[in-house]
Structure 1
Amino acid sequence: MPDPLHPDAPQTDPARSDALYDELLELALEAARRAGTLLRDGRPADLGVAATKSSPIDVVTEMDLASEKLITGFIGEHRPDDGFLGEEGASSDGTSGIRWVIDPVDGTVNYLYDLPAWSVSIAAEKDGEVVVGVVAAPMRGETCQAVVGRGAFNNGERLRHRPAPPLSQALIGTGFGYLAERRAGQAEVVRRLLPQVRDIRRGGSAAIDLCDVACGRLDAYYERGLNPWDLAAGDLIAREAGALTGGRPGKAVSQELTLAASPALFGQLQPLLDELGAWHD
């Protein structure tokens, strides 16, 4: 139906969009499943000591690369004109208007130490907007997914964020960067925030933390320094579960700051984090 306010704007066929989003979701789910299986079953039992490599990090890097290659290869077979942006270097513009944003192992330190909180994060953008998101956490036996406008689900069960508690009773997730100067600044923010909330958790996978907000396992989550592949899928899943996401007041999520929370709590946390300087080192 033509838009009466913008009669000259190009019209989108809803059925065509639905079919496209269904296709993108199916590909993301299957790619995440395959990559998760590769990572779970291919992880050496002695990765912590990695006797056959110069360091355990070499093995983790190889698994990162193998996972990204599997994902881009699988999707590329089905949609050769799409673009890619991946943590491990996949970068192409494509010609279809679709770009895949991929974190082949989100939570690599957890993966290194055989902690279960690592994930495969795959999002699909259409003309710059994230329309599909999948976060698979194989060691938790969970796959969260969302399509824009259709809600969010975990293993087929619809997700809804937790109703906002008072700030003093809120359980907050966060994460820390790798640079010492940034970590020192983030520690100072935590020092000042902790007395004002129930407690703070550091899970180690931004994608899982965002999904945990969607699942109601966290009341809110914030972090500075996230890249597009860290947050693209999880941000959509959180929003489709009814949470609000954003950065500094008036800004969208970005490397500067990412915040996800139930709406009432979001309104309290965003100005507080801005005051505490969570957006700068």
Structure 2
Amino acid sequence: MALPGILFFLVFHYGPMYGLIVAFKDYNIYQGIFSSEWVGLANFQELFESSGFKRALLNTVIIGFYQLLFVFPAPIILSILINEVVHTRFKKFVQTVVYLPHFVSWIVIGGILYAILSPTTGIVQEVADWFGLGDSVINLMGSTEYFRSILIASSIWKEAGFGTILYLATIVTIDPSLYEAAKVDGASKRRQIWHITLPGLRTTIVILLIFHVGNFLNVGLEQVYALYNPAVYEVGEILDTYLYKLAFESAKYDLATASGLFKSLVGLTLVLFTNYAAKKIDRDSGFI
């Protein structure tokens, strides 16, 4: 049963790793990977000196921090709210509704957002015109001030519901007698959530936090590529889009590989650090 999964990782994740040596070569597509000249760390030096890379790295860190602050807690809060729904049929309906956005492509969501927020034909503009406020509507998709907020809000809308699956499955395993004892002691619903539900979710939260921190620099190529435009490159250009442009628009495969390797090393470092910190705080948390 495990063989298909093992083969998948061997073929698509471990097999292509020999290509990482491109990051240390002056890669020439006609000479091939092994015949291209070695340049050591010159690609990394050029990358770190590039103003475009610095801007993309800064934007990635800022958006990643916002995701950690707002997107990561959203499924936890939503799962607790869904768990408190008493009516079974309505509860299942809510779960189904919040799951659905996960299966919608970012390209489709981008089209929906442009249809809603367009300053010329969008729904927001039409409503503003109806109230006589049409001149006050700004182009949110082209605003450097609001673009990151749109990214975070759309991430929460799309992924928060699907992220509740593990949390709801964990809540089900909490002993119901704990809630009954809390009720007897006069604990309010807020106290029950704080002292029973959240501690019961602690291990799951820590494990998913480690995964999230490990992907800190992976803030979503598909999402950003579908939503951003030249007007917001200053705040919307991230490492993934910068890497994509280096590889497929400028054909600088060596610099693109160096950028990808840098991201992977940072991700590995963050995972190990977060796991170490989790173990120090709670011995039962983390992986190893």
TM-score over 0.5 (shorter chain) = no
Higher helix share: 2
Larger Rg: 2
Q: Which has the higher strand share?
A: 1
- What TM-score, normalized to structure 2? 0.29
Greater relative contact order (Cα < 8 A, sep 6+): 2
TM-score, L = length of structure 1: 0.30
